[in-house]
């Protein structure tokens, strides 16, 4: 049996996408005038909140799900420690 195969398109799909500049969405934007210290303080507070939420949720899980969430909580804590170290370098005690 013979199957008709159409000719490929003239250009690769998505080739013209790179020709037009991308305009990022402004729906979620961080104020570019905020200081590095302010950004780090907010990041630290967000990570601390995420750590509390993850640790509260761990109490309701068992087995591999609990272990996975404990691992996520540890990664969050390590991120919080790194942000705190960066803050210490910006404003030593």
Angle CA 51–41–79, to nearest 5: 40
CA distance 14 to 3: 27
7-17 pLDDT, tens digit each: 766 666 555 55
Domain limits, the chain: 32-90
pTM of this prediction exceeds 0.85: no
**What is the 3-state composition of the chain as percent helix, strand, coil, each rounded to the nearest 5?**
60, 0, 40
28-87 pLDDT, tens digit each: 888 889 999 999 999 999 999 999 999 999 999 999 999 999 999 999 999 999 999 999
pLDDT at 15: 58
Q: H or E stretch including 10?
A: none
CA distance 80 to 72: 12
């Amino acid at each position: 049996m013979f199957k008709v195969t159409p000719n490929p398109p003239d250009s690769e799909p998505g080739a013209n996408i790179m020709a037009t500049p991308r305009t990022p969405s402004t729906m979620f934007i961080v104020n570019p005038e905020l200081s590095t210290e302010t950004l780090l303080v907010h990041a630290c507070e967000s990570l601390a909140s995420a750590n509390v939420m993850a640790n509260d949720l761990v109490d309701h899980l068992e087995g591999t799900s609990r272990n996975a969430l404990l691992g996520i909580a540890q990664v969050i804590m390590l991120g919080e420690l790194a942000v705190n170290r960066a803050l210490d370098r910006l404003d030593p005690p």
